[in-house]
Amino acid sequence: MASIIEQIQQDALDRSVPVSDLLRRVKLAATKLGLGAVEDWVEKELNGYPELPVPDYRVISGTPVANNQFRGWEPIGGQIEKIRRRDVLQSVASLEGLINAPDHGVIHFPYNDALVKKLNDMNHSVGKLAALQVDRSTIVGILDRVRNLVLDWSLKMEQAGVLGTEFNFSTADKAKAQGATTTINIGTIGSFAGNLGSGNTSGDAMVGGLNIELVADLALQLRAHLDQLEHSGANIQTLEAKLDLIAAEIAKDAPSNSMLRGLLVDVRNAIAGAAGNLMATGATAPINQILSTGVPNP
């Protein structure tokens, strides 16, 4: 009988299995392994992203169009670069429904009411609908990326010695999963989050469930990217001050778990001004990982 991880691999390779069904199996495995960061990603893919930012693979480009009552959908002219891209927040199941709906190979994502009104005012028109038109293959690409991320994660879990039984994992499996340095790079840039905590084991220094080695590693990486974060809109003065306080707290003989958690939340708030930028996403992801599970995102 195939193990949970092997079943995930089989489903990832089988295109007849919907991505939404595949993700439910990943949710089962992640929950049983105690991998909160992975479970959080799966929840967002299954239920939709409640807010920005979204992973880079969910940022799409297309053709801005308006609906002419006589000629149907036609391209919008002028300075349109700023409205050619949009973030896709819909659930995976919704996206699967879109690609299965007959519409001559194109999909329309309606713009919000404020933008539609602005476009109408600029063109001296009233009541025209406006949307971003994308090829169906663009949405297929999002679903394929999710499928590939799941396959990569399952293969890395197998390489770490984590397989499980048909519906469960042993204590040894859970320990291996928690100590594994494998990473699904979701919306991150380069190796910002990928190298976080490289080499960590279950024997690392822990304070109240918080991995001190990961906190220290994160602080070092944030300092290395201060210029880029400032350019992206982060509150750099607050960020530097909080990083100094984190370093001081870690240096103590008995670091305070509550103090470090509070400082990490402050750091996350300091880079919130850069929301939507890939650098900010790459910086926020490991903070969420540490606060939710204390381990890198598998």
Q: Are residues 185 and 132 in the same domain?
A: no
> Are residues 271 and 210 part of one domain?
yes
The pLDDT of residue 190 is above 50: no
Say if 85 falls within a structural domain: yes
pLDDT over 90 (residue 18): yes
Are 190 and 119 contained in the same domain? Answer: no
Whether 208 and 294 map to the same domain: the answer is yes
Residue 10 has pLDDT above 80, yes or no: yes
Is 155 part of any domain?
A: no
Q: Is residue 159 part of a domain?
A: no
Predicted confidence (pLDDT) at residue 183 exceeds the cutoff of 60: no
Asked if residue 188 and residue 138 are part of one domain, the reply reads no
The reply to whether 154 falls in a domain is no
Q: Is the pLDDT of residue 117 over 60?
A: yes
Task: Please check whether residues 294 and 227 belong to one and the same domain.
Answer: yes
pLDDT tens, 94-105? 999 988 876 667
- pLDDT at residue 274, as a whole number: 57
Which long-range contacts (C-beta less than 8 Å, at least 24 apart) are formed by 118-123?
Answer: 119/66, 119/76, 122/78, 123/66
Concatenated DSSP letters of the chain: ---HHHHHHHHHH-TTS-HHHHHHHHHHHHHHHT-HHHHHHHHHHHH--SSS---GGGEEE-EEEEEETTTEEEE--SS-GGGSEEE--S-HHHHHHHHHS-STTEEEEEPPHHHHHHHHHHTT-SS--EEEEEEHHHHHHHHHHHHHHHHHHHHHHHHTT----SS---HHHHHHHHH-------S--TTTTTTTTTT--TTS-EETTEEHHHHHHHHHHHHHTHHHHHHHT--HHHHHHHHHHHHHHHTSSS--HHHHHHHHHHHHHHTGGGTTSHHHHHHHHHHHHHHHTSS---
Which range marks the domain in which residue 131 is found?
Answer: 56-142
pTM of the model: 0.61
pLDDT tens figures, 252-272: 888 888 888 888 888 888 887
How many domains does the chain contain in total? 2
89 in the same domain as 199? no
Question: What is residue 264's predicted lDDT score, i.e. its pLDDT?
Answer: 87
Q: Is 3 within the bounds of a domain?
A: no
In a domain, 28, yes or no: no
Beta partners for 64?
132
Q: Do 187 and 294 belong together in one domain?
A: yes
Residues 228 and 136 in one domain: no
Is the pLDDT at 187 greater than 60? The verdict is no
CA distance 16 to 194: 31
Looking at the fold, whether 189 and 132 belong to one and the same domain comes out as no
- 218 and 134 assigned to the same domain: no
Amino acid 116: pLDDT: 80
Task: Answer whether residue 156 is part of any domain.
Answer: no
The pLDDT value given to residue 148: 92
Residues 93 and 189 in one domain: no
